[in-house]
Amino acid sequence: MKQIHKNYSVEDFQVWKALFNRQKGNLKGKACADYLFHLDEMAPVLNENKVPDFRELNEMLLDKTGWSIEVVPGLIPVDDFFELLAKRKFCSSTWLRKMHQLDYLEEPDMFHDIFGHIPLLMNPEYAQFIEDIGQLGLRHKNDRSILDRLEKLYWFTIEFGLMQAQDGLQIYGAGIISSYGETNHIYTEGVKISGFDLEHILNAHFTTSEVQNQYCSIDSFAQLYSSIKSLESRWAPAARKRA
């Protein structure tokens, strides 16, 4: 599959511009500094003026980090997803929501995949963490229990992760960064934010059909990298047993 950029409609361009401008303004003082820095860094190929062209994005990503965008039809099986991450290929759909869907979608669209995820792939430590999740998933692709736990780790970090910085609570998870409502929701009463506890995350429950009420906060991206090394050591005996 590939993106056919010429097929985007006038409404697509209007939707992209509306989403981009609204959320970029909303993220000031809320998104982590690394995300905002890399969003500005990618401005020549990722901005409000046009629906992003994956060829242009890939040229910058490959040059800076060795990552590229892999076009998929939508949600794909988790083992296929991890295999792509292990190869430094990040999945994205090419369809965009309609104007009447600005505030809510059941399934992630291109705005979530690109605006939410891609800028932080320019950060080497963060990009390595995602690749390492993919490598672990690929190594244990026949162990559903491990894949389920990796899904939870991905969910509470890459999708809905928060970070405690000197300036206060900041967002790095793409599911929040790409959502106007969820960005504001995390600061409301009743939201539970706990520190990063790997055991809790691996056994937690999450739902994809509603706004979250439970989040985990890290101190730095180095903490994510450390968690992966811990899991590699923990699950190594399982890999040897199956060999």
- Per-residue pLDDT reduced to its tens digit, 52-62: 999 999 999 99
The residue-averaged pLDDT of 16-24 equals: 97
Residue 167's pLDDT is what?
A: 82
Residue 166 banded pLDDT, cuts 50, 70, 90: confident
Residue 61's pLDDT is what?
A: 96
Residue 209's pLDDT is what?
A: 66
The residue-averaged pLDDT of 132-156 equals: 94
Question: Percent of the chain scored above 90 by pLDDT?
Answer: 80
CATH (domain of 207): 1.10.800.10
Residue 242's pLDDT is what?
A: 47
Residue 185's pLDDT is what?
A: 92
DSSP letter, residue 15: H
Domains of the chain: total: 1
> How many angstroms from the chain centroid is the CA of residue 114?
9
Residue 237 banded pLDDT, cuts 50, 70, 90: low
Residue 236 banded pLDDT, cuts 50, 70, 90: confident
Q: How far apart are CA 164 and CA 169, in angstroms?
A: 5
Between these two residues, 236 and 7, which has the higher pLDDT value?
7
Between these two residues, 234 and 118, which has the higher pLDDT value?
118
Look up the domain containing 85 and give its range.
5-242
The beta-strand segments (E) located in the chain are 68-71, 89-92, 161-165, 168-171, 192-195, 214-218
Q: Is the pLDDT of residue 106 over 80?
A: no
> Which pairing describes strands 161-165 and 168-171: parallel, antiparallel, or unpaired?
antiparallel
pLDDT digits (tens, 9 = 90+) for 54-90: 999 999 999 999 999 999 988 888 989 999 999 999 9
> Residue 43: how many CA atoms within 13 Å on its side-chain side?
6
Q: Which residues contact 200 (CB under 8 A, 6 or more apart)?
A: 194, 216
DSSP letter, residue 216: E
The residue-averaged pLDDT of 6-20 equals: 97
Lowest mean pLDDT among 52-56, 70-74, 138-142, 165-169: 165-169
Task: Give the mean pLDDT of the chain.
Answer: 92
Residue 212 banded pLDDT, cuts 50, 70, 90: confident
Residue 91 three-state SS? strand
Q: Is the pLDDT of residue 239 over 60?
A: no
The residue-averaged pLDDT of 139-157 equals: 94
CA quadruple 66, 141, 231, 206: dihedral, nearest 10? 90
Residue 240 banded pLDDT, cuts 50, 70, 90: very low
